[in-house]
Amino acid sequence: MTAVSFNNVGLKKYVKPSELKEIEPMIDTAESELMNGTGVGSEMRQWLDLPKNYDRKEFEAIKQAAKKIRSDSKILVVIGIGGSYLGARMAIDFLHDSFFNYMPDSRRKDPQVIFAGNSLSASYVHSLIDMIGDRDFSVNVVSKSGTTTEPTIAFRIFRKLLVKKYGAKEAADRIYVSTDAKHGALRQEVKAKGYHSYVIPDGIGGRYSVLCPVGLLPIAVSGVDIDKLMGGAAQAESDLTSHKKIADNDALKYAAYRNILYRKGYTNEIFESYEPNMRYLAEWWKQLAGETEGKDNKGIYPTSACLSTDLHSLGQYIQQGMRNLMETVVKVENAPYNETVPSEKSNLDELGYLQGHTMNFANKKALQAVVIAHTNGGVPDMIVDIKDQTPFTLGYLIYYFEFAIAVSGYLNGINPFNQPGVEDYKNNMFALLGKPGYENLRKEIEAHKND
């Protein structure tokens, strides 16, 4: 099988072949806007050809930096929020064992990669500092502006720890910055302090940034072969940007089907997997879909579940709750590991019918059973089949979803690449925290706080 493919077996009751034909001209227009740069926000499409046109010199520098960090650090603290950390965390979880970050140093080949600056929880930061203890660590801070509240606070704290532990000179040699090429507070600090630095391209927004230095450095530090990751993405670019018709393009099929369903009232999309180390794939996808499509009172609401675990909490609602749900299921054909159900003479646990079978066999049958139950119960199911959990397949999958969701945005007549709603909460937070320049907004908020 190919690295990633689309399966519509769970849609036959819900979408007629004629409907796919009817939406095709709109898909063609949306794809043309994306590919030709005629749609709004076209300046933020640099991710489209990134897998083939990335900066080779910087890519090699990232690999050398990762090698250095692996040699001198037990922990890499990655500081960022939103797209500045979700892609890296997703990839590291997806490509490693579930307990990769919990292994003791004596059993590790590569550093722990831990994330900070993605909340304002002092308890989390305290626990992270306690976990680091006296072990050697480095810091990778990711931010275009260098002034986003959550990561900026975290960077101050961990920079201070580095200086205290190593002194100013060695601390600077343990700080790795991914930021704007010319502007922003972090770029100024790089120039002043001599930190290692990498460029976040102007034409790539946070949720599309995992295949640039934002994601590549921490992913490489974890021991992943980022050449293979980019190779998978490059293959996806070749496959998905050269086929102009839905019939030959599985990413366009996904965009088409989910939008046909959306127009029929299926407004909530549940992203599901059957592997616990794919939870952050869902978190990354939720930001990609939510920030891309949720504008102008439009857009599919993205949510997620990890099955079969969440079947014991959400299964009843999915089966018989409001019929505004559709599902996207990521199915792994070749899981990296397997276990066999042991044989026992006694059958008190009533597992005799499964002994000798593998857990992967049971997991796939659970997926099949759920798809049948949900589609019969009124929930359309889209299945994205992936070959395995390797860097090549993940690179392909990342590009697959980026391409499909961007097309979906244009299909709904919005700018897929901005996020104006995010600025509203930020401005209110700045006002309430007393940031200079927000005094009038603070007065306005205070005046209406009891409304």
pLDDT tens sequence across 404-444: 999 999 999 999 999 887 777 778 778 777 888 888 867 77
What is the pLDDT at residue 222?
Answer: 98
Q: Helix, strand or coil for residue 160?
A: helix
Which amino acid, 261?
L
Contacts of residue 70, Cβ cutoff 8 Å, sequence gap at least 6: 110, 111, 221, 223
DSSP 133: T
What's the pLDDT tens digit per position in 182-212?
Answer: 999 999 999 999 999 999 999 999 999 999 9
Q: Strands (DSSP E) along 248-364, which ranges? A: 268-273, 301-306, 325-334
Set 31, 272, 275, 291: catalytic member: 291
Instruction: Please tell me whether residue 177 adopts helix, strand or coil conformation.
Output: strand
Exposed/middle/buried for 114, CB within 10 Å: 0-12, 13-18, 19+? middle
Whole-model pTM: value is 0.96
Active site residue 426: yes
Q: What is the pLDDT at residue 40?
A: 96
**Contact indicator for 287, 86 with CB cutoff of 8 Å:** yes
- Beta strands 75-79; 112-116: pairing state: parallel
Identify the pLDDT of residue 450: 64
Segment 39-69, tens digit of pLDDT: 999 999 999 999 999 999 999 999 999 999 9
Structural domains of the chain, ranges and CATH numbers in brackets: 4-40+229-412 (3.40.50.10490), 50-227 (3.40.50.10490)
24 carries an active-site annotation: no
Catalytic residue among 160, 169, 426, 443: 426
Please say if the pLDDT value at position 451 is more than 70: no
Preceding omega of 308 cis (within 30 degrees of 0)? yes
